[in-house]
Amino acid sequence: MDNLIKDLRINLEKYNFATLKDKLAGFKIENENVPLFQELVEVLGSDPRKNVISLSEKLNRQLQKFLSEKDRVTSMYLFDKSFGDFSYVAGVDEVGRGPLAGPIVAAAVVLDLNSLNDIILEINDSKKLSEMKREELAKIIKEKAVDYSLSLCDNREIDERGIAVCNNEIFIKAINGLTKVTPELVLSDGYPVRNISILNKFVIKGDTKSASIACASIIAKVYRDNIMKEYAKKYPEYDFENNVGYGTGKHVNAIKNVGVTEIHRLSFLKNIL
């Protein structure tokens, strides 16, 4: 990109608009090239042609959007650092507390909170992201995380022990499943983790405030959704590929007309059966 900008400073007026667009095709704003991208916007903006100026303005809007997103996510990383001088902080979150079928899943994620030039952009509460974006981010999170772990309780355990007990147990299992590092602080979404020996702070709406919790929310959601998509192949009447076990109209009608499956939480169906 550096060579391109040098070229444009010398030869910009020689290139027609189509050639300029071809030269810029494939360039993506990333943390390391923000200054060069700013310089590119400046160079194109100096051209008298309206379509080139319009291109400069379009790229500048992309740049400002990127910088705004970077600021948002940086604040999430700084939130996790704000609790004290800890070497490793784990964020934990669960997915699937409310469905009528399938497991409840938790994830624990430890990020490198000191590497603010390599943050994971677009992380958020998993429910606010599209399925495609969650899948994309889950791969990035697993690649960049210092450590991560997933755990679950199936529907039989939920019926036998209760959802609250299982919820807390999978938090502990996910934390204990971290094998590369031992966190000194655990941030949990919404409520505290009981019977844990590590310092724990709970964060209301943590998946929108904490980078670590948001990442845990995403990989737990992707993991559980993929489990339910596999069950959808075995039980096509219940529309699990779309409702992932939640009590939609189509799901409830299937329960009434077809019956329950081996993955239904019978303790959740007392008002339906």
Query: What band does 11 get if pLDDT is binned at 50, 70 and 90?
Result: confident
pTM given for the model: 0.91
Residue ranges with strand state E in the chain: 89-95, 104-110, 147-153, 185-189, 199-203
Tokens of 207: 């998946």
Specify the pLDDT at position 7: 83
Specify the pLDDT at position 30: 83
Cβ contact 218:208 at 8 Å: no
Tokens of 236: 């096509």
Q: Does residue 72 have a pLDDT over 80?
A: yes
Residue 80 three-state SS: helix
Write out pLDDT tens, residues 165-223. 999 999 999 999 999 999 999 999 999 999 999 999 999 999 999 999 999 999 999 99
Instruction: Compute the distance between CA of residue 246 and CA of residue 159 in angstroms, rounded to an integer.
Output: 16
Query: What band does 75 get if pLDDT is binned at 50, 70 and 90?
Result: very high
Sign of CA dihedral 34, 36, 38, 40: negative
Q: Does residue 111 have a pLDDT over 90?
A: yes
* Pairing assessment for the beta strands 104-110 and 89-95 based on DSSP bridges: antiparallel
Closest residue by Cα to residue 171 from 147, 150, 142, 145:
150
Query: What band does 105 get if pLDDT is binned at 50, 70 and 90?
Result: very high
Specify the pLDDT at position 129: 95
Q: Please compute the mean of the pLDDT values over residues 68-85 and round it to a whole number.
A: 96
Q: Does residue 64 have a pLDDT over 90?
A: yes
Specify the pLDDT at position 269: 96
Specify the pLDDT at position 214: 98
Query: What band does 136 get if pLDDT is binned at 50, 70 and 90?
Result: very high
User: Containing H/E element for 140?
Assistant: helix 131-144
Cβ contact 93:223 at 8 Å: no
Specify the pLDDT at position 179: 96
Tell me the DSSP string of 7-39.
HHHHHGGGS-HHHHHHHHTT----GGGHHHHHH
Specify the higher pLDDT residue, 90 or 118.
90
Cβ contact 177:43 at 8 Å: no
Whole-number average pLDDT of the chain: 94
Instruction: Compute the distance between CA of residue 101 and CA of residue 266 in angstroms, rounded to an integer.
Output: 9
Instruction: Compute the distance between CA of residue 253 and CA of residue 101 in angstroms, rounded to an integer.
Output: 14
* Pairing assessment for the beta strands 104-110 and 147-153 based on DSSP bridges: antiparallel
Q: Please compute the mean of the pLDDT values over residues 109-124 and round it to a whole number.
A: 94
Specify the pLDDT at position 6: 86
